[in-house]
């Protein structure tokens, strides 16, 4: 009982502090609003299931990023899991009647353009550039993705170049 309470408290605190970054990663990986919400819930479910096994070897945020990225990678296979079993009563799409398609604070057209360009990238590149935009260091990105720091750098330079080419001239 005490353990359940502690797990709930841990989850609530994690949800409060990390929900936006989780959502941004989901939003960077997928385009469709319903799929983003679905993936977001799947990430939260995975976090809740695994939260007790977080031992603090890595930073909590690195752990959250890892779970988010791995859930996103597996999403196409698993995306029906929640629908098949039982859809959570909470529906994020109902959070607001006039909810925008993009995250709340997205007044900048430049961000919209960036999102559109990111969605044209390969899936692994979408993940890496989203982590980069989250301001993670190369070392942190390497820890999340499982590649060396050196080629995180190589990769980011390439993705940046690709994005520059994809972005319309202003």
Partner 1 sequence: MMNIDDLKSDWKSQQKPGSSAKQEVDPTSLLNSFENVQHKTKKENIILSITLSLTIAFLWGMVYFLGNTSWWVYTGVIIMTVEMIATAAFAWYRNSLKKWGNVQSDSYNHILAAIKKLKYRKFLMIYVLPVYAILLITGINLVYIDVIGDMSLILRWVIHLGVSVLMGGFFFYELNRRLKKERREIDPMIEELQAIKKGLEKEKQQDY
By CB under 8 A, residue 29 contacts partner 1? no
Candidates 31, 74, 119, 138: give the one binding partner 1 (CB under 8 A): 74
Q: How far is the CB of 2 from partner 1 (least distance, A)?
A: 16
Q: What is residue 107's three-state secondary structure?
A: coil
* 24 binds partner 1 per the rule CB under 8 A: yes
46 binds partner 1 (CB under 8 A): yes
Strands (E), 52-120: none
Phi, psi of 7 (to 5 degrees): -65, -45
User: Is-contact 92 41, C-beta < 8 A?
Assistant: yes
Q: How far apart are the C-alpha atoms of 65 and 24, rounded to whole Å?
A: 11
Candidate list 31, 60, 73, 79; residue touching partner 1; CB under 8 A: 73
| Binding of partner 1 by 1 (CB under 8 A) | no
CB of 117 to partner 1, least distance (A): 9
61 binds partner 1 (CB under 8 A): no
CA distance 150 to 165: 23
Within residues 113-152, the interface with partner 1 by CB under 8 A covers 113-114, 122-125, 127, 129, 133-135, 143-148, 150-151
Query: Alpha-carbon distance 26 to 46, whole Å?
Result: 14
CA dist., res. 24 & res. 79, Å (int): 18
Q: Is residue 110 a contact point for partner 1 (CB under 8 A)? A: yes
Among 32, 59, 88, 137, binds partner 1 (CB under 8 A): 88
Q: Select from 38, 39, 140, 155 the one that contacts partner 1 (CB under 8 A).
A: 155
Which of 147, 152, 155, 159 lies closest to 121 in space, CA to CA? 159
Q: Is 60 in the site for partner 1 (CB under 8 A)?
A: no
């Amino acid at each position: 009982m005490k353990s359940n309470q502690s797990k709930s408290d841990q989850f609530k605190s994690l949800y409060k502090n990390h929900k936006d970054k989780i959502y941004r990663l989901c939003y960077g990986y997928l385009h469709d609003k319903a799929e983003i919400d679905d993936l977001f819930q799947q990430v939260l479910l995975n976090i809740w299931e695994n939260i007790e096994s977080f031992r603090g070897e890595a930073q909590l945020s690195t752990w959250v990023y890892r779970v988010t990225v791995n859930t996103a990678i597996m999403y196409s296979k698993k995306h029906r899991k929640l629908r098949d079993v039982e859809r959570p009563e909470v529906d994020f799409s109902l959070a607001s009647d006039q909810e925008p398609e993009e995250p709340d604070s997205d007044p900048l057209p430049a961000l919209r353009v960036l999102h559109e360009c990111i969605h044209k990238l390969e899936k692994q590149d979408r993940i890496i550039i989203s982590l980069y935009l989250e301001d993670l260091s190369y070392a942190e990105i390497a820890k999340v993705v499982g590649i060396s720091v050196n080629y995180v750098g190589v990769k980011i330079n390439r993705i940046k170049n690709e994005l520059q080419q994809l972005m319309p001239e202003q």
